[in-house]
Structure 1
Amino acid sequence: MSGSLSKLGGSARRLFVCSVPNVSKNNAQIRTIVHKSLLRLPADYPAAWDYKNLGFNNVDGFTDDTSKRFHQNSKLVVVEGNIGAGKSTMAKELAEQLGFYHMPEFRMDDILVDRYGNDLRNYYSKFPKRFRIPDIEMFYKNPMDDMTAVMQDRIFKCRFDQYLNALAHILNTGQGVVLERTPHSDFVFTNAMRSKSFVGPEYFKHYYYCLENIRRRGNINEMAAVDEGYLKIIEESYKDSLKEYRKHSKILAYDWSKPGDTDAVVEDIERIDLDFFEWHSGDVLEEWNTIVDAVGWNGWRQYVTSKNDAHILAFDGIEKHEVGELYINPRDTGAFIHAMRKEVLKSPFGYGYIAKNGDAPAGLTNWHTGHHLPEPWYDYYYKEAYYDDISSHETSLDLDSDTYDPDYAHHHH
């Protein structure tokens, strides 16, 4: 959706309708979308798979056929737009009318408060600076800080996780998803940050290496940091992104400088002829015609549910040694782990394994590929799963953190 400048600057917004192709009983793909009142499911339609508690693995694929859940509304709708454009209200209304699951835009708060209710920001005075990941308010107050690149890197990877979550929900339940923003559009913010020198050229280059890997597969502080020039770069970057999106999505664009009528958007979606033959010539939506059998769909379902292989393909193998903003001093890592054990978790054990916090006993059978949490599935790797993957020599030899120095952060920063 595109519009004029609001008081915060450009209010460009885009709505993308992207399909997870559906397979009916005769193996014909169904690409229409209907209002929830018009959706008709067969009497034997399978119940939603509880992927958050069960995960989905190779064995599960023998008893649960992914393709049987596909119906007209097994689609992904992405709502894009500039800061302050009103995406959330429209996305919620759209999801309600279509009977889709609504996934709000990722916020740093989603990963800065753990399962025990600990807000990590309350312990930042004990953490080395490199581990004080800014939330958006901290960014607005000090956008020139080196930690801006760390924050943007974290947001980018969490948006990637959320995109996988949306696909996992569709493939495990059949229910469509309305998602606010995707990792494919995240570059519009990095472009704006680079234009204002909020991030350096090394991180900018590193970011685009990651993005290419994935492609192959209003307060006072805000007003000060996010000015009209910043938002204009975002708006212009969105225009560039449309060239790529048109190859894979049907795009509906609206002027939302004044909130519009969601009913009209739903009607436009219902009128889209997603079977129009010219769409399948050349590279325009070519992958929509790709035939995937039941085994293939189960494989994709496992891929987006576990996230492990997706992370490896997207982010592994991209060197960070030249990106000073992302460098982590090994001593800082040790100090962070010590602080987590002594100040935050008050335990040498990781998330999900702390009995005094009410965690149930968990053994070797609870180990999962890509993480050590007792649960088979997680929302965001950087909420808790990352914690057991970081290590340092000093903490590996001192499990109870008896050498913890509460003043380390003050002495070294």
Structure 2
Amino acid sequence: MPGSMSKLGGLAVGLLAPARSGALSNQIRGVVHRSVLRLPPDHPDPWDYKHKGFNYIDGLKDDTQAHLHQNSKLIVIEGNIGSGKTTLAKQLADQLGFVHFPEFRMDDILIDRYGNDLRNYYSKFPARYRLPDISMFYKNPSGELSAAMQDRIFNCRFDQYLNALAHILNTGQGVVLERTPHSDFVFANAMRDKNYIGHEYFKHYYFVRKNALPQLHFWPHLVVYLNTPTSKCLENIKRRGNTDEIATVDERYLKTIEESYKDSLREYRNHSKILAYDWTKPGDTDAVVEDIERLDLDFFEWHSGDVMEEWNTIVDSIGWNGWRQYVTNKYDARMLAFDGIPKHEVGELYTNPRDTGHFLHVMRKEVLKSPYGYGYIAKNGDHQAGTTAWHTGHNLPEPWYEYYFREAYYDDLTSHETSLDLDSDSYDPDYVHHHH
């Protein structure tokens, strides 16, 4: 039956909360359709965290708990490639009044604020800095940079998840997010099974994952899983008409993802509510909304398991403001997740220091055409910023960034060549031809 609840490998994943009756029923405040959401007259306006950031001083004048209401929830849509996640995610967000966060794509970090598409400069970059987008990956999935791409995607999913949490805590608006860093391993498994990534990186990936996920702290309130047969996914992929994708994402690749999702759902089940649907034929979004409205996504007791625990163990405004700053700033989370993890034994992630120097030369001479970093190039219309533009964790003029690896990373890259040659006068356009 289309849109029906399902079981996967003996794992019951249709965890609908039973309807309650009696005195308690009036106390349940579940997620509701946006048309019936009623907020008090003194509900605060959303905090403009993208332009203001959020710090301790801000917490004195804007209380986090005051923003939160019954629809301040994180809903995650999971499913195989070609399962129909995006369509459902958009429709759910529209009906519930949530904001939709599409699945992260490499394109999101390969075009900078000035409109420079870094892929247009790949012929000038050292090979290690030509990270594939999804189309490039499909053309050459066994390429030397597939592991580096997967490593970058996990980093960016980590950032995107923090962005979703920041949006909820700063505005009160719920978020519908496609995929999370928690489920990202289903792709690492599929890539390893097809030998697109090597054993060294595969071990490194799981080491990083184990270290990084606890730094996110909050798990989704609800995971909606679309159980779409691999044959149907293949049909949908072929309908898209990308011959490279069709060749790479074959039945074996999709089967590995499907099997890996069973482990992912078991992990989610310890922390989140789960709704799973047979999505052989796309189901009715209205019915999914009704199922969500019947769930109690606020209930937690210490002896009832860990589901919803992370959202219910913060009891005062100081604690909430602290977590709000943590997920908005992202600096501490990223430092705890990724700093200090050695990569010297992972050949697929190795970067020659000379290559980094040349990359910076190309950025200065060819891409930015300036010795200055993002946000500080006057000829591009940037406002001149002084010492007040400094922020913990990065040197961008803005207090908030979407993805570290879009622009913030540029401030942290250093090399002997460029530190001693601020104007890149030693730039050698033929470096790539000499060294590759």
In the superposition, the TM-score normalised over structure 1's length comes to 0.91
Which position in structure 2 is the counterpart of 1:360? 383
Which amino acid in 2 is paired with 1:255? D
Q: Distance in 2 between matches of 1:123 and 1:53?
A: 30
Indicate the RMSD between aligned Cα atoms, in angstroms. 1.9
Which position in structure 2 is the counterpart of 1:49? 47
- Which residue, out of 279, 282, 287, partners 1:256? 279
Trace 1:362-381 onto structure 2 (pairs within 5 A).
362-381=385-404
% of aligned pairs identical?
Answer: 76
Identify unmatched segments of 5+ residues in structure 2. Answer: 4-12, 17-26, 216-236
Which amino acid in 1 is paired with 2:161? Y
Q: Is 1:100–2:98 an aligned residue pair?
A: yes
Offset at residue 215 of structure 1 (A): 2.9
CA contact (8 A) 1:16 1:79 kept: no
Which position in structure 2 is the counterpart of 1:294? 317
Offset at residue 276 of structure 1 (A): 6.1
- Which residue, out of 136, 141, 148, partners 2:146? 148
Q: Is 1:309–2:325 an aligned residue pair?
A: no
Offset at residue 15 of structure 1 (A): 10
Which amino acid in 2 is paired with 1:149? A
Trace 1:25-174 onto structure 2 (pairs within 5 A).
32-174=30-172
**Deviations 1:56-100, CA, capped at 9 Å, x for gaps:** 001111111000111000000000111111111110000000000
Q: Is 1:225–2:248 an aligned residue pair?
A: yes
Q: Distance in 1 between matches of 2:358 and 2:317?
A: 49
CA contact (8 A) 2:191 2:197 kept: yes
Which position in structure 1 is the counterpart of 2:305? 282
Q: Distance in 1 between matches of 2:176 and 2:323?
A: 20
**Deviations 1:106-141, CA, capped at 9 Å, x for gaps:** 111100000000000000000000000100000001
Aligned to 1:253, the other structure's residue is in SS state strand
Q: Relative to structure 1, is the Cα distance of residues 182 and 277 closer, same or farther in structure 2, using a 3 angstrom cutoff?
A: closer
Offset at residue 256 of structure 1 (A): 1.4
Q: Distance in 1 between matches of 2:394 and 2:86?
A: 31
In the superposition, the TM-score normalised over structure 2's length comes to 0.87
Q: Relative to structure 1, is the Cα distance of residues 277 and 123 closer, same or farther in structure 2, using a 3 angstrom cutoff?
A: closer
Q: Relative to structure 1, is the Cα distance of residues 284 and 76 closer, same or farther in structure 2, using a 3 angstrom cutoff?
A: closer
Identify unmatched segments of 5+ residues in structure 1. Answer: 4-13, 18-28
Structure 1 window deviating more from structure 2 (87-96 vs 29-38): it is: 29-38
Offset at residue 286 of structure 1 (A): 3.7
CA contact (8 A) 2:181 2:213 kept: no
Which position in structure 2 is the counterpart of 1:192? 190
Offset at residue 257 of structure 1 (A): 2.1
**Deviations 1:327-347, CA, capped at 9 Å, x for gaps:** 110000000000000110000
Offset at residue 307 of structure 1 (A): 0.2
**Deviations 1:238-270, CA, capped at 9 Å, x for gaps:** 111111101111100011122111111000000
- Which residue, out of 232, 236, 248, partners 2:259? 236
Offset at residue 306 of structure 1 (A): 0.4
CA contact (8 A) 1:280 1:286 kept: no
Offset at residue 152 of structure 1 (A): 0.4
Aligned to 1:179, the other structure's residue is in SS state strand
Q: Relative to structure 1, is the Cα distance of residues 341 and 276 closer, same or farther in structure 2, using a 3 angstrom cutoff?
A: closer
Q: Relative to structure 1, is the Cα distance of residues 118 and 291 closer, same or farther in structure 2, using a 3 angstrom cutoff?
A: closer
Structure 1 window deviating more from structure 2 (249-258 vs 330-339): it is: 249-258
Which amino acid in 1 is paired with 2:112? D
Q: Is 1:332–2:330 an aligned residue pair?
A: no
Aligned to 2:275, the other structure's residue is in SS state strand
**Deviations 1:297-336, CA, capped at 9 Å, x for gaps:** 0000000000000001111121101001111100000000
Offset at residue 277 of structure 1 (A): 6.8
Which position in structure 2 is the counterpart of 1:205? 203
Q: Relative to structure 1, is the Cα distance of residues 15 and 165 closer, same or farther in structure 2, using a 3 angstrom cutoff?
A: farther
Offset at residue 290 of structure 1 (A): 1.6
Which amino acid in 1 is paired with 2:371? P
Which amino acid in 2 is paired with 1:390? L
CA contact (8 A) 1:34 1:270 kept: yes
Q: Relative to structure 1, is the Cα distance of residues 323 and 116 closer, same or farther in structure 2, using a 3 angstrom cutoff?
A: same
Q: Distance in 1 between matches of 2:144 and 2:118?
A: 19
Offset at residue 288 of structure 1 (A): 4.5
CA contact (8 A) 2:188 2:202 kept: yes
CA contact (8 A) 2:300 2:312 kept: no
Offset at residue 44 of structure 1 (A): 0.5
Q: Relative to structure 1, is the Cα distance of residues 399 and 291 closer, same or farther in structure 2, using a 3 angstrom cutoff?
A: closer
**Deviations 1:179-220, CA, capped at 9 Å, x for gaps:** 011000000000000111111111111111111112333311
CA contact (8 A) 2:139 2:244 kept: yes
Aligned to 1:125, the other structure's residue is in SS state coil
